Structure 1
Amino acid sequence: MPVVPMKEIVDRAFRDRYGVAAINVVNDLTMEAVLAAAVAERSPLIVQTSVKTVRSIGIDLLFAMWREMTAGIEVPVSLHLDHCPDRSFISDCLRKGWNSVLFDGSRLPVAENLRLTVDIVAEARSYGAHVEGEIEAITGVEDDIGSDEEANRESLPVALDFIRKTGIDVFAPAIGNAHGVYRSEPHLDAQRVSDIVAAEPIPIALHGGTGMTDAQFTDLISRGCAKVNISTALKITYMKSNLAFLLDARDRDTWDPPSLFTSVRAAVLEMAAGHMRRFGSVGRAW
């Protein structure tokens, strides 16, 4: 199964009401581990990259990693650029071969966001790529993008007008979700997802997934959240597994980098596979 368009993955998930994990990777090890999890679980997968990660690795090297790791892959996977407010950077990634992008115009007036998103959708189409859009900022800072201030939510007619006029493929509404770690179980406006989908049947992207309960995931996916973003959970797993291994290595005075990589890879793979099981995407590969 070659790399497929993001729309093909989310449209199937939306139709059959399961969720596809969209996992933000940070380096070659985490990219390989989440792809291996998808193969092991026979699950579709969206691999996400933040602007910060692309810039830290380099766009050419990161895409070369992706191309090599997905050559001959046995499950449907897609490469997505997460929260990007930089118009020129979006063009760079589309030109290089990213399958989809999220233009983050959430801090702009809706009219300006709409105008720019229309242009980005047209550009993406010229590359056979797709676009996720949003009109409200998701609370929290992720990879240096965003704000801890909660943005006002737009009315349903405004959201629907944005979806229809831009032609976006996925919509990311604010429903009380947040990037980062929740201090307590989040109170989510699940009905807003249902209201949007009832009026305009479009796959919904659920941001701020780390820390939500299984019941919340199940409910939101049943309402149309076909793309479920996981970023913080990967970062925590990656950092804590490194830390645990290194503390043990210090205590044993045994220093073997390949063993470190193997241990961290296993932890990241299991984290990714666990989310695939929770979202109902296991065995959904085609």
Structure 2
Amino acid sequence: MPVTSLNDIVRPAFEERYGVPAINIVNDLTLEGVLEGAVEAKSPLIVQTSVKTVRSVGAPVLAAMWRAMTAGIEVPVALHLDHCPDRAVVTECLRNGWNSVLFDASALPVQENLALTIEVVREAREYGAQVEGEIEAITGIEDGHGSDEEAARESLEVSLDFIDRTGVDVFAPSIGNAHGAYKEAPVLDYDRVSQLVSARDIPIALHGGSGLSSEQFRELISRGAAKVNISTALKETFMKSSLEHLAQAERIDRWDPPTLFDDVSQAVRTLVIDLAKEFGSAGRGA
């Protein structure tokens, strides 16, 4: 099954009320691991890259890795640029084969955000790509982007006007969720998801998924959260599995990089399989 569009992945999830893991990778090893996990789980998958990752690895290198690792893949996959406020990076990624972008102008006044997002949607359509939009900053700092200060939420009417006028394919509301590790259990505004979905037939992106409970995931997915973002959990899995392997290598004084790669890749695969089962996407990509 070839690489497919974001719409072809999230639309069935939205209609059938399951969630698709949207996982931020950081290098070739994590990319390989999440893809292998999705194939093993027979789950659709959205691979995400932060602006920080694009800049550190390079868009052409990431694109070459993506093409090589998804050649002949057996499940639907899409490549998404996450939280990007930089139009130049958006353009670079679209030119290199990303088929979905989140243009994040949430730090700007709504009307300025709206005007810029309209331009991004127009540009993305030239590449056959989709756009995720947001008008409120999600609390927390991720890959150097964002703020720990909770942003004010806009009214439902403002959100619907943004959706209508921009033509975004997926919408990411602020509902009490946050990037990074939660310091305390979040109080989520489930009704806001239901209100948006009831008023507009649009899939919802859930940010700050790492650390939510199974009950919270189920409730939000049942209300229309079809794209579930996972970043912190991937980073913790990658680094903690590396740390555990290196501690063991030190104990036995055996330094064999391929075994490190195997252990880390297996940990990442297991994370993806578990998420696919939890979100209900396992078996949906067969």
Structure 1 length-normalised TM: 0.99
Partner in structure 2 of residue 273 of structure 1: 273
Deviation digits for residues 198-246 of structure 1 (CA, Å, limit 9, x no counterpart): 0011000000000000000000000000000000000000000000110
Task: Give 1:186 shift.
Answer: 1.0
Task: Give 1:193 shift.
Answer: 0.2
- What letter is aligned with 1:232? T
Partner in structure 2 of residue 41 of structure 1: 41
Partner in structure 1 of residue 285 of structure 2: 285
Tell me the distance in 1 between the aligned counterparts of 2:254 and 2:41.
34
> Which runs of structure 2 are paired with 1:106-255 in the superposition (5 Å)?
106-255=106-255
Structure 1, unmatched stretches of 5+, are none
Partner in structure 2 of residue 105 of structure 1: 105
- What letter is aligned with 1:100? S
Is 2:42 the partner of 1:53? Answer: no
Partner in structure 1 of residue 96 of structure 2: 96
Tell me the distance in 1 between the aligned counterparts of 2:53 and 2:273.
22
Percent of matched pairs sharing the same residue = 65
Tell me the distance in 2 between the aligned counterparts of 1:221 and 1:256.
42
Deviation digits for residues 126-149 of structure 1 (CA, Å, limit 9, x no counterpart): 110000000000000000010110
Tell me the distance in 2 between the aligned counterparts of 1:18 and 1:8.
14
Partner in structure 2 of residue 16 of structure 1: 16
Tell me the distance in 1 between the aligned counterparts of 2:120 and 2:264.
37
Deviation digits for residues 62-112 of structure 1 (CA, Å, limit 9, x no counterpart): 100000000000100000000000011101111111010000010000000
Structure 1, 215-224 or 184-193: larger mean CA deviation: 184-193
Cα RMSD, aligned residues only: 0.6
Count of equivalent residues: 286
Find runs of 4+ consecutive structure 1 residues off by over 4 angstroms.
Answer: none
Tell me the distance in 2 between the aligned counterparts of 1:95 and 1:57.
16
Deviation digits for residues 34-78 of structure 1 (CA, Å, limit 9, x no counterpart): 000111011000000001001111111110000000000010000
> Which runs of structure 2 are paired with 1:76-95 in the superposition (5 Å)?
76-95=76-95
Structure 2 length-normalised TM: 0.99
Task: Give 1:285 shift.
Answer: 1.0
Partner in structure 1 of residue 70 of structure 2: 70
Task: Give 1:13 shift.
Answer: 0.4
